[in-house]
Amino acid sequence: RDFNERCAQCSEVNWGLTDGGRFYCRTCHNVIERTREVINAEAISNARIQTISKGLRNQKKTEEDWEWYVCEGFQLVLKKQAEALEALGVCPQMKDEILCNFWRRYLQKSQQAYCNRPTGEAVKALSVCDSSADMDSEPERPSLLHLLSLSESDGDLQTDCSFASSAGKVSENTSMCSGSIDGRLYLKKNQKEKLRMSMPMTLSFCYMALLWLREPMTLSDLLRFVVEGHIPYFNAYQHFPEKMKLYGLDLRIFCVESWPVYEEVHNKMVELAAFLDLPRFPDVTESCFLHPDMLCMKYLMEANLPDELHDWTRRVVKKTCIGEADFLTLTPGNKSTRAVKYDVLAAAVIVVVLKLLFLLDDHYEWLLSDFSAERNKNDKEAEGGPCFEFKKWYKVIKCSLDVEQKKLDEERAKYVWRCEKPLFYSVKKKSKVFRRRQMVENLQNQFGKLSGSVQPAERPNPSSFQLSWSEENTDGTCFHGHSLKGILQEKRGLLTALNPDYWLCTVKLCNEKMCGHLAHYKEVDFPQSYHFVLRLFSFLLRMQPSCIHEEVCVIEHKLFNKKLYKKPKYYAGLRK
């Protein structure tokens, strides 16, 4: 109150103090170098020492919690996820140049930042500020949106949050039953048109940035790395600073106790790209990892199928025109085209090729397998490798798939959703909470030793392949070098399947707008061989077989479009 100099920017005399004891203008938020002089009386009598305050003014202030907003918590989660992706080998530009700009644009579009003043219910959070509070008696901390910025070189982020932090003392009613200031309002407000932020949407942000950079990581890979713990998602709030207390309604926002769903993350990404008014994404060309030809090669290797099948997948991709850049590239807001699920598309192409060659009707594939086995028996040193036997491949894959699926189910059943870092809501209870957690862990270890339970395995190293097959094995479990000559015939200079028949999964596609799906899948309605192939790729992609089946139906209708919708010759006569 004794400092009467005018502000150099706005010429006003309206000064307050920051946490560090520095003066700042309440009108324009300009911070100057001057600090507050504190009179410190020591034990020496008749002595007065004037010192300059550096840091927090008293110990009581250090024990107080920070005031933070929900969007600040999500920003910290995005920052940690981007850093984890960089550690996995993603381009360093993702965090500071791509994801940061997407996040800024979202804050501006949702009117949480980079706007003059927030609208709607966000104003209610500001209306509870006590404008008559004495700012000198209790200065506020800087906004976390600046301290936890995705980019180290970012300037100050002018938001409603920073305005509230510097405008007055927030009432206790705003954070009732929550650690954040706007946790209660955040759960109450209806923001369907504004895409309210959620934990699954953080993965949508990450995938959108990966897609923009055309990184060699599909959405199924991203979700698998999340489940394996390589990317912060479950209990991501344990990375919050200690003074960002999280309890009550905040747990409903940031605590995740379910596995991420492919469809939800993908659909949110498409809606988010349209909401942000993003331009057309960079083209997905033939040299890009996300192109079907590239992904088919990857999944053929992982499914332990012959390399010669890649020629057939390329023929299907070319015939159906699903390898064109206009089809593969995401154009936000274009409702006339479906957003491509690159990994699902590649898996569906392989399934269609297997149906073309082996029919997968629980009868023809076994006849071909017996024929190939007899041929291999008679000609053991055939050129181009042994003929591919579907029955032998089925036995090898089923054995390995059952083991891996059982291991995955056990890991999910034993997964502990509780955070490793215990939550405590005051400094006084910190030691008590840690002692209780340590006691519980000691008891669990003792009971585990008595019961003879196996200790949880260490987190596996990240890998693009879940199933690996080596041609160096002498047990005959690798089929990469096997030949298809036993099931093909040459016709007019081209190799075609021995059997020209083909069965469609569905004759007519459903209306996606009416029922939400183009096709439906029930295991009892389809052959077991077809279901086994779907089950294999559903394990590799960590999704339901129905999602792959739907894409198979779409490709089939593209492939046999002329035959399906060909008008009969007598149609014109009937019209007359």
What is d(CA 232, CA 251) in angstroms, rounded to the nearest whole number? 16
Question: pLDDT of 204-249, one tens digit each?
Answer: 999 999 999 999 999 999 999 999 999 999 988 888 887 887 777 8
Split at pLDDT 50, 70, 90, the class of 514 is: low
Claim to verify: residue 229 and residue 357 sit in the same structural domain: no
Q: Are 477 and 469 a contacting pair, CB within 8 Å?
A: yes
How large is the average pLDDT for residues 28-39?
A: 67
Within this chain, do residues 402 and 493 fall inside the same structural domain, yes or no?
A: yes
Min mean pLDDT across 73-77, 517-521, 548-552 is at 517-521
Q: Are residues 473 and 557 in the same domain?
A: yes
On the question of pLDDT at 179 being above 80, the answer is no
Chosen domain end from 243, 278, 313: 278
Q: Could you tell me if 353 and 238 lie in one domain? A: no
Shared-domain flag, residues 257 and 341: no
Confidence label for 347 from pLDDT (cuts 50, 70 and 90): very high
Structural domain contains residue 329: yes
Share of the chain above pLDDT 70, in %: 72
The pLDDT tens digits of the residues spanning 125-144 come to 333 333 333 333 333 443 44
Residue 452 has pLDDT above 70, yes or no: no
Does 552 lie in the same domain as 473? Answer: yes
Instruction: Tell me: do 271 and 324 sit in the same domain.
Output: no
In a domain, 532, yes or no: yes
| CA dihedral over 379, 385, 391, 395, signed as positive or negative | positive
- The SS3 assignment for 321 reads coil
268 and 357 part of one domain: no
Helix (H, G, I), strand (E, B) or coil at 379: coil
Answer yes or no: are the C-beta atoms of 502 and 564 closer than 8 Å.
Answer: no
Of the listed ranges 196-200, 276-280, 454-458, 461-465, the least confidently predicted one is 454-458
CA distances from 101 to 3, 104, 114, 149, 557 (A): 40, 5, 12, 11, 39
Q: Is 449 helix (H, G, I), strand (E, B) or coil?
A: helix
Angle, CA of 459, 200 and 83, to the nearest 5°: 55
Can you tell me the mean pLDDT for 290-316? 95
545-559 and 309-320 helices, crossing angle to 10°: 70
Residue 201 inside a domain? The answer is yes
pTM value is 0.77
Whether residue 510 lies inside any domain: the answer is yes
What is the extent of the structural domain holding 12? 1-35
Residues 205 and 317 in one domain: no
Helices (H), ranges, 137-281: 144-147, 160-167, 183-188, 199-213, 219-227, 250-254, 262-275
Residue 550 counted as domain residue: yes
My answer on whether 501 and 386 are in the same domain is: yes
Rounded to 10°, the helix 100-109/262-275 angle is 70
Amino acid at 345: L
Angle at 492 between CA 490 and CA 497, to 5 degrees: 40
In total, how many domains does the chain have?
Answer: 3
Of 278, 312, 344, the residue at which a domain comes to its end is 278
- Within a domain: 168: no
Domain membership flag for residue 328: yes
Average pLDDT over the chain reads 78
In this structure, the answer to whether residues 479 and 555 fall within a common structural domain is yes
Shared-domain flag, residues 363 and 308:
yes
Domain termination residue (choose one: 250, 278, 306)? 278
Higher per-residue confidence, 119 vs 320: 320
**Would residue 499 count as lying in a domain?**
yes
